[in-house]
């Protein structure tokens, strides 16, 4: 099955598909390979949304945002170690990326907010469909429409180069066909992160040893080894994000929007302990400090009604009870009267419009309608911020800071965009923007 193409894309997550479609639309013959039997990587699991500033969707809702504000939020979330040149691309191209996806059939018209954002800028489908699955489906449909050669069960093993160091293709291994060579003038690495590889994770951050992960099974980081063998420099590998709220039953990731829409976090003493919509690293650290290292997301029927996705958690049986606060406390194994007092006090603060305990900046609703629910949660590995070093053209750099001719990188396999901590909603933005850029530049390079 030897083949010759202009651009070979490695990985079928959002970054890989965006790169493949964009390379095709910029005139290249494209092949995409994926080591797993199914497409979508971690991208298809993303529940939050796509952050973008100054979009038509925001304007239609009267939301005032600015490029400066999105830059500030992203840098602050990343503890200011993000590569400013990459953040500039992420922010300035974000509205264009939403338009690009919308033009290909995506619905990103609902605009909500996730942790660390100053205004509503998380674009997502209306009706509560998962943004990742939607975006991957739209990109896959578009790749199919273009007749792009897509090969599953095919692993990128080694980037091949000529004597001058230029990329000439890749050695790949098909599960059924064995090793073969794909000739290509440009290769885009879009192989994702390594959150599912706890050995690799714990080596870089021993605190995370034994942690569960929200990731798909292929998030093992072999793409990083491929890149390293090809001479790529790495950056920020030790920054690994734990998603603060995985249900302790089944490890289902409970989207940040549950808190965004009004749920509070309560410990085994029945008390709040943190601003629930702080950044992920801070929320995760706060939960781990509580008795037993877990906490409960507590909400009522008004929060339940406000977010379709909650039905999924209820369907999965991770919500232990629907009852009064005191009864719920019993089911949770904590003091129900404390819980009741905590909720009453929280409701007073909602009425006053100010959280004087933890300075939660947004208090969407009181918790006083119908039944109460609780989901026990603790953190799990979610996203690996570090990876291959790229420049603002998505070109992979070597140790000397020089480009490796013909080698591009995009998405979670790269480092620098998110610094030490990624904001919710910035991953989809990252993979679309940099995938699209890598595809375009790879196509121009390969066909010139």
Q: Which among 31-39, 58-66, 343-351, 384-392 is the span making contact with ligand ADP, rule CB under 6 A?
A: 31-39
- Minimum CB separation from ligand ADP for residue 395, in Å? 17
Q: Please confirm, yes or no, whether 280 is among the known catalytic residues.
A: yes
Task: Point out which residues pair with 184 in neighbouring strands.
Answer: 5
Q: What is the DSSP letter of 393?
A: T
Q: Which is nearer to ligand ADP, 91 or 219 (CB)?
A: 219
What tokens appear for 274 in the block?
């943190």
Site mask, ligand ADP, residues 366-405, x = CB under 6 A? ----------------------------------------
- Minimum CB separation from ligand ADP for residue 385, in Å? 12
Residue 412 interacting with ligand ADP (CB under 6 A): yes
Active-site entry in 121, 280, 360, 436: 280
Give residues with Cβ within 8 angstroms of 288, minimum separation 6.
Answer: 378, 379
Q: Which is nearer to ligand ADP, 263 or 385 (CB)?
A: 385
Write phi, then psi, for 398 (nearest 5 degrees). Answer: -90, -175
Distances (CA, A) of 245 to 46, 275, 295, 375: 14, 14, 9, 9
Residue 295 interacting with ligand ADP (CB under 6 A): no
CB 393 within 8 A of CB 441: yes
Give the C-alpha separation, 272 to 333, whole Å: 16
Residue 12 interacting with ligand ADP (CB under 6 A): yes
Give residues with Cβ within 8 angstroms of 163, minimum separation 6.
Answer: none
One residue of 77, 192, 262, 415 binding ligand ADP per CB under 6 A: 192
Q: Which is nearer to ligand ADP, 115 or 192 (CB)?
A: 192
What tokens appear for 162 in the block?
């000529």
Q: Which is nearer to ligand ADP, 10 or 310 (CB)?
A: 10
Give the C-alpha separation, 192 to 220, whole Å: 9
One residue of 41, 262, 270, 329 binding ligand ADP per CB under 6 A: 41
Residue 226 interacting with ligand ADP (CB under 6 A): yes
Site mask, ligand ADP, residues 142-171, x = CB under 6 A? -------------xx---------------
Q: Which is nearer to ligand ADP, 8 or 264 (CB)?
A: 8
Residue 219 interacting with ligand ADP (CB under 6 A): yes
Q: Which is nearer to ligand ADP, 101 or 274 (CB)?
A: 101
Which 3 state secondary structure label does DSSP give 296? strand
User: Which helix (DSSP H) or strand (DSSP E) does residue 286 occupy?
Assistant: helix 280-288
CB 11 within 8 A of CB 41: yes
Write phi, then psi, for 191 (nearest 5 degrees). Answer: -95, 5
Residue 14 interacting with ligand ADP (CB under 6 A): yes
Give the C-alpha separation, 345 to 394, whole Å: 50
One residue of 57, 120, 191, 261 binding ligand ADP per CB under 6 A: 191
What tokens appear for 421 in the block?
């901590």
- Give the residue nearest to ligand ADP (CB): 13
Give residues with Cβ within 8 angstroms of 416, minimum separation 6.
Answer: 82, 83, 86, 235, 236, 389, 390
- Minimum CB separation from ligand ADP for residue 107, in Å? 20
Residue 214 interacting with ligand ADP (CB under 6 A): no
One residue of 7, 13, 98, 332 binding ligand ADP per CB under 6 A: 13
- Minimum CB separation from ligand ADP for residue 393, in Å? 17
Q: Which is nearer to ligand ADP, 139 or 374 (CB)?
A: 139
Residue 36 interacting with ligand ADP (CB under 6 A): yes
| First-residue to last-residue Cα distance in the chain | 26
One residue of 115, 223, 244, 419 binding ligand ADP per CB under 6 A: 223
With CB under 6 A as the rule, give the number of residues binding ligand ADP.
Answer: 27
Please spell the DSSP secondary structure of 81-128, one letter per residue: -S-HHHHHHHHHTHHHHHHHHHHTT----EEE--TT-SS--EEE-TTS
Distances (CA, A) of 43 to 49, 130, 167, 330: 11, 10, 27, 38
Give the C-alpha separation, 339 to 327, whole Å: 10
Q: Which among 145-153, 159-167, 180-188, 189-197 is the span making contact with ligand ADP, rule CB under 6 A?
A: 189-197
Q: Which is nearer to ligand ADP, 156 or 406 (CB)?
A: 156
Residue 182 interacting with ligand ADP (CB under 6 A): no
Summarize as ranges the residues that interact with ligand ADP (CB under 6 A). Answer: 10-16, 33-36, 41-43, 155-156, 190-192, 218-219, 222-223, 226, 411-412, 431
Point out the residues that are catalytic. 280
């Amino acid at each position: 099955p030897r083949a010759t193409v202009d651009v070979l894309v490695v990985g079928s997550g959002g970054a890989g598909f965006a790169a493949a479609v964009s390379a095709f639309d910029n005139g290249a013959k494209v092949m995409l390979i994926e080591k797993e039997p199914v497409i979508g990587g971690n991208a298809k699991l993303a529940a939050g949304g796509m952050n973008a500033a100054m979009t038509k969707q925001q304007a239609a809702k009267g939301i005032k945002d600015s490029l400066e504000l999105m830059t500030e939020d992203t840098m602050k979330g990343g503890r200011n170690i993000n590569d400013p040149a990459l953040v500039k691309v992420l922010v300035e191209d974000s509205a264009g990326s939403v338009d690009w996806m919308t033009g290909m059939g995506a619905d990103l018209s609902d605009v909500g907010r996730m942790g660390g954002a100053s205004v509503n800028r998380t674009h997502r489908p209306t009706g509560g469909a998962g943004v990742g699955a939607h975006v991957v489906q739209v990109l896959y449909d578009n790749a199919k429409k273009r007749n792009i050669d897509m090969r599953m069960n095919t692993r990128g093993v080694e980037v091949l180069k000529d004597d001058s160091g230029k990329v000439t293709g890749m050695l790949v291994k098909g599960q059924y066909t064995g090793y073969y060579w794909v000739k290509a003038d440009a290769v885009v690495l879009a192989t994702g992160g390594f959150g599912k590889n706890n050995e690799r994770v714990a080596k870089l951050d021993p605190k995370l040893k034994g942690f569960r992960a929200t990731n798909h099974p292929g998030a093992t980081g072999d793409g990083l080894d491929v890149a390293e063998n090809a001479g790529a420099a790495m950056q920020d590998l030790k920054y690994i994000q734990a998603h603060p709220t995985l249900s302790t039953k089944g490890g289902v990731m409970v989207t940040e929007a549950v808190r965004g829409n009004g749920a509070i976090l309560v410990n085994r003493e029945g008390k709040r302990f943190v601003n629930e919509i702080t950044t992920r690293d801070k929320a995760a650290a706060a939960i781990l400090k509580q008795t037993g290292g877990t906490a409960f997301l507590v909400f009522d029927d008004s929060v339940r009604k406000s977010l379709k996705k909650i039905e999924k958690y209820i369907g999965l049986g991770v919500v232990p009870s629907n009852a009064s606060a005191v009864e719920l406390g019993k089911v949770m194994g904590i003091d129900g009267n404390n819980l009741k007092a905590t909720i009453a006090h929280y409701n007073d603060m909602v009425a006053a419009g100010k959280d004087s305990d933890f300075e939660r900046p947004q208090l969407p609703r009181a918790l006083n309608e119908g039944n109460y629910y609780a989901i026990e949660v603790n953190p799990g590995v979610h996203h690996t911020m570090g990876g291959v070093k790229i420049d603002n053209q998505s070109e992979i750099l070597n140790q000397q800071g020089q480009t490796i001719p013909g080698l591009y990188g995009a998405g979670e396999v790269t480092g620098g965009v998110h610094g030490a901590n990624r904001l919710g909603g910035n991953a989809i933005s990252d993979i679309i923007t940099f995938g699209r850029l890598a595809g375009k530049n790879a196509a121009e390079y390969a066909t010139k």
